[in-house]
Amino acid sequence: MYSEKVIEHFQNPHNYGRIENPDGIGEVGNMKCGDIMKLYIKLKGDAIEDIKFETFGCAAAIATSSVVTDLAKGKSIEDALKINAKDVVDSLGGLPNIKVHCSLLAIDALSEAVYDYYKNTGKEISEDLKKKHESIKKRDDE
């Protein structure tokens, strides 16, 4: 059912934990499956210097959180926001169709952390990021 990469990231997740005094926090959840992800970012200039996560959920939720942190660490905010679900799924060697939503949640957690950073620092938030934030919040409220 799961690839070796998924099992590896589930059993030994990368970048697990909290960041003290993060620059941004993204929290998302899927009430239907019970997955909850919290992602923390610390920036140096415009680059994600450190990134960590805490996830309550299935093996796929933990693995996708782990991979998103690997893919985003060291990237500029702009490049990190270009990471998509296909990047995450490909990095894991695939996911069962019923678990692909976990990759979307992980991407959403990253977007929400960046949104939180922009909001907290008064930086201009792009229309795309505003729309994504509104969509995530609307979905979370349903």
Active-site hit among 7, 16, 27, 33: 33
In sequence order, what DSSP letters do the residues of the chain get, joined into one string? Answer: ---HHHHHHHHS-TTBS--SS-SEEEEEEETTTTEEEEEEEEEETTEEEEEEEEEES-HHHHHHHHHHHHHHTTSBHHHHTT--HHHHHHHTT---GGGHHHHHHHHHHHHHHHHHHHHHHTPPPPHHHHHHHHHHHHHHH-
Residue 58 known to be catalytic: no
Active-site option among 80, 102, 105, 106: 102
Q: Where in the sequence numbering do the catalytic residues fall? A: 33, 102
